[in-house]
Chain A
Amino acid sequence: MASVPKRKAIIFGVPIAWIAAFGALIGVFTVVPMIFYIFGGGFISAGMVIFAPLAGIILGPWAGYVAGLIGGLIGMFISPASFPLGFIDANLSGAFISLYWGLVKKDYWKFMIPWWVLWIIIALIWPYHIPGPAGGYKEAPEPLWTISWSWTYIGFVLYIITLKFLINWIKEETKGIKKVIGWIIYNFIANTAWMVPWKIVYFALLKYPPETVIADNFISWWAYTLPMVVATTIIAFATVEALRKSGLYRPPGGVV
């Protein structure tokens, strides 16, 4: 394993140059479409699907968040169609991806669990129940509304169940199919946690009808989660393995 770089310019154990490089990669690749929305009208960029999760996995959640925010801010200006909410989207569609992909690592469970539960509670009640009609939002039909977020409940349960051993499944010494399954679970957990704030803030601010949100939640399984998990599994597996074999520095907050 390579030693810690002898640099003073380090944030959260990561050289600033790495954070800047990831930020630039995320930002530049926001103009490259990757997952096309099933109802048309837009896309999730390669910056969001490839480099933002990698930033979280390699740099860790906090340095990843900074890199993601840099990338989101760059993307906000060069690909405004991918960031319709401006600065809020620089967080939701940039920094939050890196943050969540880093937070899945066991070390951060004390932050991850309450943070995830908080967003589930927010999504279930705000804004389609509270303030609801008083705030100009149509009341969400139950129990469909609560059921439609099923992917995040499953992700959360999977996170709790695999918390103790998931990191061992993706470590360097693990071989074969076990490692692939480990990466699939890791990416599924990160994806289903991140999509809660990503969706609810977007739908709430743009005042989508609750029926549209429910429909979008149900199709999320195969329209967003499946392609994103497949892509990030292949990419994370390839990049992390290459980094491990290359002998480059491994930031302590990440999972390399």
Chain B
Amino acid sequence: MMGEEQPKKNVYFWIFWIGFILLAYGLVSFSTAVASPEAFKTAGEIGVYGSISVLLLGMIMIILGYIKKK
């Protein structure tokens, strides 16, 4: 029983903490990409939409990891 549960726990443990890293990346890259028209131009549409996607993915991973790792 314990042997079967162990890998599952580890996966959600890492999902939870990696979610924080993605959240930080998305938060900073999105906020600086839209901070000025010049930054927006450098980031491009892919930079803006990509960074907000990473931000949302990070939030989902944190929530999922938090609920499931318990």
Where the two chains meet, the residues of A that have a C-beta atom closer than 8 Å to any C-beta of B are 33-43, 46, 49-50, 223, 227-228, 230-232, 234-235, 237-239, 241-242, 245
> Are A33 and B43 in contact, with the CB atoms below 8 A?
yes
Partner of A33, one of B27, B29, B31, B36: B29
Query: Is the beta-carbon distance between A35 and B25 smaller than 8 angstroms?
Result: no
What total of chain B residues lie within 8 Å of the partner, measured CB to CB? Answer: 23
The CA of A246 and the CA of B24, in the complex, are separated in Å by: 21
Contact B24 A36 (CB under 8 A): no
Cα distance, A40 to B28, chains bound together (Å): 16
Distance in angstroms between the alpha carbons of A235 and B25 in the assembled complex = 9
- Nearest to B37 among chain A residues (CB) is A40
Whether A227 and B31, one on each chain, are in contact in the complex, defined by CB atoms closer than 8 angstroms, is yes
Find chain B residues with CB under 8 A from A231 CB.
24-25, 27-28
Chain B residues contacting A33 (CB-CB under 8 Å) are 29, 42-43, 47
Inter-chain contacts of A36 with B (CB < 8 A): 29, 32-33, 35, 39, 42-43, 47
Give A238 to B17 CA distance when docked, in angstroms. Answer: 6
> What sequence of 0s and 1s flags, for each residue 16-48 of chain B, a beta carbon within 8 Å of any chain A beta carbon?
011011011101110111011011011100010
Cβ contact within 8 Å between A237 and B29: no
